[in-house]
């Protein structure tokens, strides 16, 4: 007999478990929270590095330090949160987790990196891949489909 409190090899539909796929509005709120928190770290560092020129000279990468602080640091932080906590601070604020869409288990490192890179695929064509969350049955954006992930909230699995 299998343990009902351990993830099975396939995530049952949310109705069976008490889970819900997290939709567009909640995920947008989580993204805004994450963006504001990221700016609270990156902007002061860049102001220390560039001074007031940071506001005047918005080149694409702001040099090597700009690339590290504005692009690489946020990517590493997001991936680290997914691997350590299954969620970024924004997703934690709304009670959501990012899990493997097949098993319901935490992401593997390669899967987390693929999901992050998938954000670029999702945003380049007019954010269509992010808007996809609003219309998909499992609320998956293209980045989720690429990495085989879902964003859920609720208890895994729900107690009977």
Total number of domains constituting the chain: 1
pLDDT of 40 higher than 90: yes
Work out whether strand 149-153 and strand 96-100 pair parallel, antiparallel, or are unpaired.
antiparallel
Collapsing DSSP to helix, strand or coil, 9 comes out as: coil
Domain membership flag for residue 12: no
Structural domain containing residue 84: 18-153
Which pLDDT band holds residue 80 (cuts at 50, 70, 90)?
very high
Domain membership flag for residue 10: no
Domain membership flag for residue 74: yes
* Intra-chain end-to-end CA distance of the chain, in Å: 16
Give the predicted TM-score (pTM) of the model.
Answer: 0.85
More confident residue, 13 or 101: 101
**Alpha helices, DSSP H, located in 52-147:** 53-56, 63-67, 73-85, 89-93, 109-123, 128-131, 142-147
Domain membership flag for residue 130: yes
Domain membership flag for residue 36: yes
Q: How far is CA 61 from CA 58, 81, 118, in A?
A: 8, 24, 20
The DSSP bridge partners found for residue 149 are 100
pLDDT of 3 higher than 60: no
| Stretch among 39-48, 50-59, 110-119, 132-141 having the lowest mean pLDDT | 50-59
Domain membership flag for residue 160: no
Domain membership flag for residue 11: no
């Amino acid at each position: 007999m299998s343990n009902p409190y351990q993830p099975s090899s396939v995530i049952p539909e949310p109705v069976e478990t008490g889970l819900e796929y997290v939709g567009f509005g909640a995920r947008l709120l989580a993204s805004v929270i994450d963006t504001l928190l990221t700016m609270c770290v990156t902007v002061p560092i860049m102001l220390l590095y560039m001074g007031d020129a940071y506001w005047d000279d918005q080149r694409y990468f702001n040099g090597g330090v700009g690339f590290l602080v504005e692009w690489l640091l946020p990517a590493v932080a997001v991936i680290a949160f997914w691997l350590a906590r299954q969620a970024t601070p924004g997703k934690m604020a709304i009670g959501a987790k990012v899990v493997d869409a097949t098993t319901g288990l935490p992401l593997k490192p390669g899967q987390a990196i693929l999901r992050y890179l998938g954000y670029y695929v999702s945003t380049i064509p007019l954010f269509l891949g992010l808007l996809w969350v609003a219309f998909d049955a499992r609320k998956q954006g293209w980045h989720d489909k690429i990495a085989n992930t879902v964003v859920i909230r609720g208890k895994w699995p729900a107690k009977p």
